[in-house]
Amino acid sequence: MTDLAPDTILSVRDLRTWFKTKRVTAKAVDGVTFDLKRGQTLAVVGESGSGKSVTSLSIMGLLARPGAIESGEALFRDSKGAAHDLARMGPRGFRKLRGKEIAMIFQEPMTSLNPLYTVGDQIGEMIALHNDVSRDEARKSALDMLRHVEIPDAANRLDDYPHQMSGGMRQRVMIAMALSCNPSLLIADEPTTALDVTIQAQILDLLRRLQEQFGMSILFITHNLGVVAEIAHEVVVMYAGRVVEHAPVVPLFAKQKHPYTEGLLACTPNAERDLDPAGERKALYSIPGTVPPITNLPPGCAFEPRCRYSISACTKVPPQLEPAGPERLSRCLRSAEI
């Protein structure tokens, strides 16, 4: 097992998660590597089908059949300093870590919250599961957590059912439940996608403040680069199951080293850039083509059919993830020219 650096809480090394059937093998995650430092936020970005959510489910041990980790490591350091390889951990080990040391929030809270129980009971159950406390103490802690996530009139909302709350309030409840046992690592899988822009900004601001208060690290899964600019310290860009670029957030937004990252940023609305000389709004840019099926990738670079920098060499040999400047990596033969 690889050693963890002192400032690293999660180290994913050459992780491969495949979905195998009798007819085909889908390499949903194919050799993903990254480190998440203590107290920081790492954003994993990509279109639907890029492998980012499967990466998070692999780390959490929540893969559904026929998905399975084929090889690689996902090393996690718990609050006591002990290291665990999540890629090789069984159900019993995950039961001790999930909720207590590692927590996860999802895109749509209504599918994660039980409609038959009050939000206070659901948060209290999580607290009682991982701590030796009475029911009254768990309920008091649940109320404190609702106040932490800024639920108005928290004492009266404690006995509300999920359907009695708005989407933004339900997401706050999910955050309260995830943080109720003070985890070291929070995995947030598209937590703001189902919310309108105003509520999205409030949730992001809340996560930033709670991160400072609790000192947790965040693995933030999203397809929205606007969100990444708001919350992340480092960015991993995935395409067709592989990391294509990895960089600190400010250098990545200043200058991209992979055509896919460049395309994703070009798709992000920009008030100045999207106006023509006459002041009329131009059509939004979109990357040509679609993500290829992971069961039938091109022989060379997976992004080559959609890439405006493509040359003949790109169709022959899959590029490697290599240094492309200080603290950054790119999987592109022409990264120096972009």
**High-pLDDT (> 70) share of the chain, %:** 96
Q: Provide DSSP, 286-317.
A: --SS-PPPTTS--SS-TTGGG-TT--GGGGTS
Which domains are delineated in the chain?
Answer: 8-101+183-337 (3.40.50.300), 114-182 (no CATH)
| Backbone angles phi and psi of 19, in degrees to 5 | -110, 110
Q: Read out DSSP for 165-194?
A: S-HHHHHHHHHHHHHTT--SEEEEESTTTT
Give the other-Cβ count within 10 Å of 300's Cβ.
Answer: 18
Q: Give 148-160 pLDDT, tens digit per residue.
A: 999 999 999 999 9
* Predicted local confidence at residue 284, as pLDDT: 77
DSSP string covering 28-63, please? Answer: EEEEEEEEEETT-EEEEE--TTSSHHHHHHHHHT-P
Sign of CA dihedral 163, 164, 167, 169: negative
Name the average pLDDT for the chain: 91
- Predicted pLDDT of residue 2: 64
**Residue 194 banded pLDDT, cuts 50, 70, 90:** confident
Is a pLDDT exceeding 60 seen at residue 1? no
What is the arithmetic mean of pLDDT over 79-83? 89
Assign 5 a pLDDT band (cuts: 50, 70, 90): confident
**Confidence class of residue 226 from pLDDT cuts 50, 70 and 90?**
confident
Neighbours of 337 (CB within 10 A): 8
Angle at CA 45, nearest 5°, toward 44 and 46?
A: 135
Looking at residue 273, what is its pLDDT?
Answer: 63
pLDDT over 60 at 329, yes or no:
yes
pLDDT classification of 224: cutoffs 50, 70, 90: confident
Mean pLDDT of 315-337: 93
Q: In terms of DSSP bridges, do strands 217-222 and 41-45 run parallel, antiparallel, or are they unpaired?
A: parallel
Position 111 confidence tier, pLDDT thresholds 50, 70, 90: confident
Predicted pLDDT of residue 3: 75
Q: Is the pLDDT of residue 122 over 70?
A: yes
CB neighbours of 157 closer than 8 A, spacing ≥ 6?
119, 146, 151, 165, 169
Cα radius of gyration rounded to whole Å, the chain? 21
Q: What is the mean pLDDT of residues 94-118?
A: 88
